[in-house]
Amino acid sequence: MSGGSAALQPPADAVKPVRHADAPAPGELLGAHYSQCFGCGGEQPHGLHLEARAGEGVSLTAEFTVQSAHQGAPGLAHGGVLTTALDETLGSLNWLLRTVAVTGRLETDFARPVPVGTTLYLSAEVTAVAGRKIYSSAVGRIDGPDGPVAVRADALFIEVKVDHFIDHGRQEEIRAAMNDPDQIRRARAFEVNP
């Protein structure tokens, strides 16, 4: 992990993250937080369909296979798509804290090109928490979970209230998500602390 710029260094009063008592058990799939999410949703034909699995502590692993719709250069993944995979993986960590948070800052290093058809093996952890600020890091490897690092990222997520989404999201989608009779799906669409 690269450590990131000064803005991504936790302050002196930062504390270790605490896994929520009801966080999914290590090894459990987290599932999509929202079916229309470009990162993890099942109803986005060209989305990443990223699958995240809880790890120990406040960590997780995730996988995503690069499709032809994800190209930048011929036969290679677009860098922004790889950053999306990192963002989604890092964002999923907040479910283990049961905290509603959005990405404030995300810094990505691209270490190797990633060909179409490649599965990216991601691992991520929350490193520190300071008030509303959640610091986390992720790496993505190719050729297997222990293969060479292709991408890495450091991020700062900022805790927000659910109103953040209700105030800023398009009403059509907000209404549909809030009307979902599945309580867990409804909660997870907004990463609500139940």
Which residues bind to ligand DCC, rule: CB under 6 A? 7, 33-34, 39, 87-88, 91, 102-105, 131-133, 156, 158, 160, 165, 189-191
End-to-end CA distance of the chain: 32
Rounded to whole angstroms, how far apart are CA atoms 47 and 25? 26
Q: Specify the residue, 75 or 80, whose C-beta has the smaller distance to ligand DCC.
A: 80
Kindly state the smallest distance separating residue 72's Cβ from ligand DCC, in Å.
Answer: 19
Measured from the CB of residue 32, what is the shortest distance to ligand DCC in angstroms? 10
Cβ-closest residue to ligand DCC? Answer: 91
- Least distance between ligand DCC and beta carbon 103 (Å): 4
Enumerate the β-bridge partners of residue 102: 158
| 39 DSSP 8-state letter | T
DSSP type of residue 109:
E
Is residue 116 within 8 A of residue 152, CB to CB? The reply is no
Is 76 or 162 the residue whose CB approaches ligand DCC more closely?
162
CB of 133: closest distance to ligand DCC in angstroms? 5
Helices first, then strands: H and E counts in the chain = 4, 6
